[in-house]
Structure 1
């Protein structure tokens, strides 16, 4: 009974990944009971249905809304490691995308005496296992590595996700009627001192006992490979070359071919990397490099380090060089941003703009300033078009969008400051009208309170006339949203603004990045939801409850490349794909003072434009507008974005596919702005307007060029250095397009080498090109382009 009580595991339960200040202490047993009895069934089934339909974006959003469990211990005040007040000695093992049926692996895990509990992951493709250890909190990472080795050894074919190594690691809840929980499980003894002496988590000397099975002992080969793997982490996509290097090291260490083949089959055999290929690699290395066998014998008593073998692999066995360079060679050599061939929009757009926008960009001193002011004008105007909507993929959207202008200090970003004057009259008008409503509310509330007081104390007889009713609270609308805003205040203000779009206008991006890092300001995920008008809400004892069913907000900000890296550190960030980004390139020139400063009235030029926008906004507020593409325009968009989508899938980073797709929506919103401005200027009352070809071409021209800016920026996202490096985003596309309709592998490898593209990248590109039916292999190292492959054009020819 004492053992049973001892194994009650305390965990921390969070209602949401975004609400980490408050959690509830639960037992692991009660959590597993909820997983089994369907407590989270509806939420998890929705996630799995999205995943089954291939809708990864909705699946990811659904997953983020699931509650969280921290099995490592009891947390207070947050979810960081410093918030852990009691350690439960429980490690969470995450097995993503197991090879085969997840239920089968779960049943096999249940037979392991040391696995306390487990269930299928919320995605339905992996497993979550919970294992108890006897080590302390400071040694949790060591214990995690030790347990991971046991799991990978006892469940051949699985790979533990190492991102779960920390004690405060959380996992999303799931639904699994076949989940299991053992009242008593074997507590794993972690030899902390021995492992620390080795400076790496080693595999257990004895495999865990299986029910009904024996207890096989460890051997020198197994220990050698364990230590080799610790020094040389296995990377997906390089299984063949990884096994070549490992086998070469094992050959040099003196292990026999038979035992190496047996152990490699047990460890690495999985769907897509079968027995035949593994046997072939081992046999080939031992045959070709027979003379190198045993040249670097392994002596466990001397603590030889297999990791060193890999670093001098060519000296051990002259295996083919499949290694990849330290820097990512998939994008070629580093380039300067100025060399990326990013064109300006072109002054020919000027004559095609609505009169208000044309006047707004007229003062531009050069092509760069023209581009910046045009984007700024479109963005601020998008927030002053009430009642304008349109559908894209059967979802209703309003015009506001997000724009980020990036450039070094002194590059001319400050020219957009005047654009805020264009929208200020509209924002003041809404505030003034709202202020009138607030004053009216106060009067009605005072009348109502007076009536209730008199009724309560009977100081006045009831008179004829309507009985006062309690008025609905009215608050002041403020459409300007500061970057330095708390998350709660943002939700509250969006709720108050309701029918009208807010605008976050910041010429210093740092105000946003600093606020996002504060506990009170983490509204990053709100920006993602607001972009698509998704429902947002908040509830607190101090501020009450707010539900915004259709939030609308535009964003215009300027910053340096360093600030961008803090805002969106990687291309996986959802915010990155929602931003229209313009990268200032080229060498800026000193701009001399001019005699225009002699005219006082010039300082109020944009104030006059603001009054014109105010008239347009008032007219649109009284005349709702539905905007749509023509069939011809939709087909034009589909042709372009289908090509770009597959181009980034095959020739670029998969993370930026969402950037391509969301630029369709950005183009639609810019076209809505142009269409609505024309309606306001002409005082038209048409309720449904089809976007004109002229406005479509303008929006398409701007959107497709800013897409190239985003793709360029994406090549620098993984660099955290102060000096940002850029690469040509179309390097793989151009390589493929420049090859003849039929070519040999040696030809494309030679051309890739000249362009700075690694061999491994070429092989991955060819594989993906075949998957997307751009290429077919005709054997003997020869390839032939399909008709679709022949249509892939060099980026400079479009």
Structure 2
């Protein structure tokens, strides 16, 4: 049922379509609400009806405000359509030139990567150009685009296309691989909506069955698949099949679950169809179906946002082969702190002071929740630590020899060399840790998979060094007088911490709770995995994980070696746009915490959590940028300064906000509930601000769906906004906006 908008208003999805057409010059067309097939009543000729005409676009979305948006990138613009995050990770790792290309995440976790190709290049759009990779765009195959939404979720731009700025060129090596696939026509299929070739008699049934299988795997139902196949049949099949034959293909496919492999569906569908000559010519008579895909490992609740697609390949590869979300969150959290300890010669200017990337992280969860993932990060600095200790032992042996010679000749003894290393024992004494910090001005790491080990040391008279942990966050100076060694002077305390423990261990570690300044210095990840069995039998991923950890350790060693040759620290900067995003995000969160404290819902001390999390976010960006530097060809030993990589900053901001929220929620249940409630109002207001002063219920629902929520949630938001006095309903189904209160 169509809904015509009052006052000529264009709903959110329509405004997105206008932006693609007017700012990028890409033709657009409407698709089924919640689906991918062209919206037949509005675009009866499918792809051929795509347009950049603003009036046509407005009319389409005024008529069908919930219609998804599809774009038709013009000749010279290729879209690489990858089915799985793993494939995108591998492709971006193999072809670094594409890392800054416009990139869109699909609802099922896949990825669209946009690249330039020569317009005279013959590269047909098709499915299965490489395993898991389809070719789209180039004026011949459309792509569903953000903010469109399906049952699985919303499309979202990770790196947005920029008006007037062509995307990076597709690497020649990749084009060559795609060309090699093109020379095997018997293994390829024209993409749905493609117009670069016709489907002749002898290939019609199998080609349509292949399209139907691909659409079913994406979760489409019978009606949408029928519409898509009928459109392809009319446009490309020569001569077209009977409509009943096309519908029979669609009905055969929907008997299978969406996750069934395309080749299994194709073989079974063709086997069950009538066998005219054109079917027999398409496939060998006895095409064996692929074995069913193994069921996925049980998934833990999401602890941290999944930012693997934004992470450097060495770190991403290690995360991909961990068994659960809890293990991944624990490993990533610990690995960031461990890696930061290798970057003491990187300098960040924040608040007018020089900082290193040193991080303090804490993984909290019950026994068996996945905290063990943190232990995998413990040995990432083994090579660096061993080299420093071996060099120090050799220097000390030489010093002992020269000291004996000086004693024999009556000369002054040479100064004692420092004992250098990067990993210190968590059960060390306060005096020993002070000496270690003085001997290692680039910093040391304290790592413990059981936070009680550190707590036990802190509670001893000889191990009371919590003041050093607090000073280490801001690199404050420290002086200590010892009985045997005299005065020890640390010009700056540089200390990284990676800890894991249970909630009870956290309470014992940070006595006094949030009022203890140590609490606000930690980035805390809380793992809440429900009790369940996860098989630990050997699997191929275990060997890949070991190899990935070795590669990550080698990468950190390479980065450390490059930095160690520098006379001066390497300066890492954020761009102005990055600073704006950082300020906006944390200023908003800080204001909400202050308001909650004023209402008595949270301790005043929690405002410090937000301030320090913002600094830690910049440090995470530095860590990720440095890990990726070798692959990007950045010479850390020679560059005067570098900018944070865009993906590194985006990942850091996402993680930093998540850590801050978890740290706040762990300290105050009332604050957690307040933040969740405030988020509802703010998201509801964000949708409201996209609409005119007077609008209908369907307008708000369409805009909310574009923002990634369901119709039911949108109706609850409307009720909430009306209860808050932000809306007035003069008659059923129509709303008028009121002035937004300053407090919101």
TM-score, length basis structure 2: 0.48
TM-score, length basis structure 1: 0.45
